[in-house]
């Protein structure tokens, strides 16, 4: 049977470490790390994510601020809010919860964030530094995945890592981190996407398969090599009348049939999700330390 990589367990351990560092920082400098989140509109999923981030801040002893804006807020107004946060000396880092409404240019907003406060790691400066292997804020989800591999000492050197998905926030940075000359890394990486042909032939070669394409239970047992490590980034609400909530959460991997073939596998929920949040906290702590 596979080892289940519990993101929740790893995240709880990292939160304890962060909380210790926070109290040390407070003792030494009198400052408490402070994270802000801008939320535009009322989208249920975005609200849930932002609330979880704010709650996680409380757990580790950070201060947090939520800037909630109406869904029809103008781009100029949002840029003004960003400018305020960029110039707020009391603030270590902030995020703008994506996706934004269609009338707002996400790239323009991302580029307006001061890179020294870019704790989501989406600014071109952060991504450029990441590619060069320089210290920077790494995108939270890929950083979380590397922490999961590290926690279980999963060997990566010389392994074939296949990433499904090439988004700017997950697949692309993930492929870069897995190829870097460090641990976890030193993989031979194949990045696949919507135009990839014969996907199954490629995934069957994966020692490590990282799945982030956003399609519920897309990866089936016949696509996975015996003994592989499978990390499922996807998260979807599927209607389920047998549940009190009316839905259940599934990933991009058909867990029940894939798990028996794996040496390690991350579940959904309780896998990559909690790691994404804890990585944001790690980046905020780094921002606070950089300031001192």
Active centre residues (catalytic): 53, 97, 120
In whole angstroms, the minimum distance from the beta carbon of 31 to ligand NAD comes to 28
Cα–Cα distance for residue pair 176/213, rounded to 1 Å: 17
DSSP, collapsed to helix, strand or coil, labels residue 3 as strand
Among residues 137, 112, 113, 141, which one has the least CA distance to residue 127? 137
139 binds ligand NAD, rule: CB under 6 A: no
- Residue 18 is a binding residue for ligand NAD (CB under 6 A): no
**Axis crossing angle, helix 7-29 with helix 140-151, rounded to the nearest 10:** 110
Tell me which residues in 37-96 interact with ligand NAD (CB under 6 A): none
Q: How many residues bind ligand NAD (CB under 6 A)?
A: 23
Q: Tokens in use for 272?
A: 């990559």
**Position 32 contacts ligand NAD (CB under 6 A):** no
With b meaning 16 or more CB within 10 Å and e meaning fewer, what string describes 253-262?
bbbeebbebb
In the range 88-107, which residues lie near ligand NAD by CB under 6 A?
Answer: none
Task: Answer yes or no whether residue 267 interacts with ligand NAD by CB under 6 A.
Answer: no
The region of 58-66, 169-177, 256-264, 278-286 touching ligand NAD under the rule CB under 6 A is: 169-177
Residue closer to ligand NAD by CB (options 25, 206) is 206
**160 near ligand NAD (CB under 6 A):** no
Place of tokens 């009198």: 30
When asked if residue 196 is in the footprint of ligand NAD (CB under 6 A), the reply is yes
Q: Binders of ligand NAD among 209-248, rule CB under 6 A?
A: 212-214, 233-236
**What burial letters (b/e) apply to 165-178, b meaning 16+ CB within 10 Å?**
bbbebbbbbbbbbb
Q: Shortest CA distance to 62 belongs to which of 84, 94, 85?
A: 94
Residue numbers at the binding site for ligand NAD (CB under 6 A): 141, 164-167, 169-171, 192-194, 196, 199, 212-214, 233-236, 272-273, 276
């Amino acid at each position: 049977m596979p080892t289940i990589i519990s993101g929740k367990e790893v995240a709880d351990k990292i939160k304890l470490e962060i909380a210790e560092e926070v109290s040390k920082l407070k003792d030494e400098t009198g400052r408490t790390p402070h994270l802000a989140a801008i939320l535009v509109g009322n989208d249920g999923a975005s609200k849930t994510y932002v609330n979880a981030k704010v709650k996680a801040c409380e757990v580790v002893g950070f201060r947090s601020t939520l800037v909630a804006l109406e869904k029809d807020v103008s781009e100029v107004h949002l840029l003004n809010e960003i400018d305020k946060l960029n110039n707020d000396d009391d603030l270590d880092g902030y995020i703008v919860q994506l996706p934004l409404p269609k009338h707002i240019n996400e790239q323009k907003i991302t580029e307006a964030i001061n890179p020294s406060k870019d704790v989501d790691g989406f600014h071109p400066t952060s991504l450029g530094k990441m590619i060069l292997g320089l210290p920077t804020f790494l995108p939270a989800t890929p950083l979380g995945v590397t922490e999961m591999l590290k926690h279980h000492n999963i060997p990566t050197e010389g392994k074939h890592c296949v990433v499904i998905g090439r988004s700017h926030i997950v697949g692309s940075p993930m492929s870069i981190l897995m190829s870097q000359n460090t641990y976890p890394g030193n993989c031979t990486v194949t990045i696949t996407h919507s135009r990839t042909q014969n996907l199954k032939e490629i995934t069957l070669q994966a020692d490590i398969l990282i799945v982030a394409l956003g399609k519920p239970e897309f990866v089936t047992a016949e696509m996975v090599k015996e003994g592989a490590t499978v990390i499922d980034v996807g998260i979807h609400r599927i209607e389920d009348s047998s549940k009190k909530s009316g839905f259940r959460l599934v990933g991009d991997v058909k867990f029940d049939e894939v798990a028996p073939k794996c040496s390690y596998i991350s579940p959904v929920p309780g896998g990559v999700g909690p790691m994404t949040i804890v990585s944001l906290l790690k980046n905020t702590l780094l921002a606070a330390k950089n300031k001192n």
